[in-house]
Amino acid sequence: MKLIENVRDMKEMIQKEKKNGKTIGFVPTMGFLHEGHLSLVREAVKKSECSVVSIFVNPAQFGPEEDFSRYPRDEDRDLRLLDKEGVSYAFVPKPQEMYPRGYRTYVQVQDMENRLCGASRPGHFKGVCTVVLKLFHIVQPDTAIFGQKDAQQAIILKRMIRDLNLDIVLRIMPIVRDKDGLALSSRNAYLGSEQREAAVCLYQSLKQAEQAVKDGERNADLVRSLIQEKIAGEPLARMDYAAVVDSENLKPLETIQPGQTLLALAVFIGETRLIDNMML
């Protein structure tokens, strides 16, 4: 695996690979890799002739009060893991390489970015879209691989790719969970042991909602309140949002449409904000 730290070198390598007719598979990450990330990485390595994984904790997607500076980082471990998976290139740029002095260009997917997580994290998806578009221009992937864990991100990026006429196939890989069902997340590292136990309420609330829908429930409000009640029953948890939305445009649904409904929630466990979701 080649470690690349600046944009120019990365572009040069990509140009060379493309000239040799190689297909490029790309996994953008913020590092502190877990099995969720690695499932994306394996997909890239398996399906593309050249695989690129970026590690970049993107300041533009964190609010001023958020956890940018304390976001967990372990570059050495990440690079060892990627090397072991057979990745071709790890792209690890510094913030000033991605956002040099005078930087001022941003991309927005209007009307989808202020819903769900965007409501509690203003500017978050603008930061995500901007950095992902930049990375796309640098890495020029044929396929980009993201996790279903960040469902809203995947839906917004799909829209951005289509709207901006990019020729990139977006692959969304299923959520990887711990034994008890908690979705893997770098932020799980923030949890104390009691909090870690409490955090399973996100998954359990989704399972409960899913069961209700399997049993025939179609009222979105009722399903949403099932989730809220479950979270309210966990003393260490505080609801941010629970949403039942159209999986194409993220608009709230009144009636659940199996096959195109996304259940999504965000919950604070202490200071740590966790998200989870399920497609119905």
Nearer to a copy of itself, 19 or 179 (CB): 19
- For the bound state, the minimum distance from the C-beta of residue 124 to a copy of itself, rounded and expressed in Å, comes to 16
Q: Burial level of 171, CB count in 10 A (0-12/13-18/19+)?
A: middle
Q: Say which amino acid occupies 137.
A: H
Q: Which of 71, 38, 65, 74 lies closest to 53, judged by CA?
A: 38
Q: Return the number of other C-beta atoms located less than 10 Å from residue 19's C-beta.
A: 8
Residues at the site binding a copy of itself, with contacts judged by CB under 8 A:
7, 11, 102-112, 129, 133-134, 137-138, 159-160, 163-167, 249
**Which run of H or E residues covers position 17?**
helix 7-19
- 37 is an active site residue: yes
- For the bound state, the minimum distance from the C-beta of residue 153 to a copy of itself, rounded and expressed in Å, comes to 14
Give the residues across from 55 on adjacent strands: 29
- For the bound state, the minimum distance from the C-beta of residue 7 to a copy of itself, rounded and expressed in Å, comes to 6
Nearer to a copy of itself, 49 or 210 (CB): 49
Query: Are the CB atoms for 202 and 274 separated by under 8 Å?
Result: yes
Q: Compute the C-alpha angle 44/86/98, nearest 5°.
A: 65
Nearer to a copy of itself, 138 or 231 (CB): 138
Nearer to a copy of itself, 138 or 237 (CB): 138
- For the bound state, the minimum distance from the C-beta of residue 162 to a copy of itself, rounded and expressed in Å, comes to 8
Which residues are known catalytic residues? Answer: 37
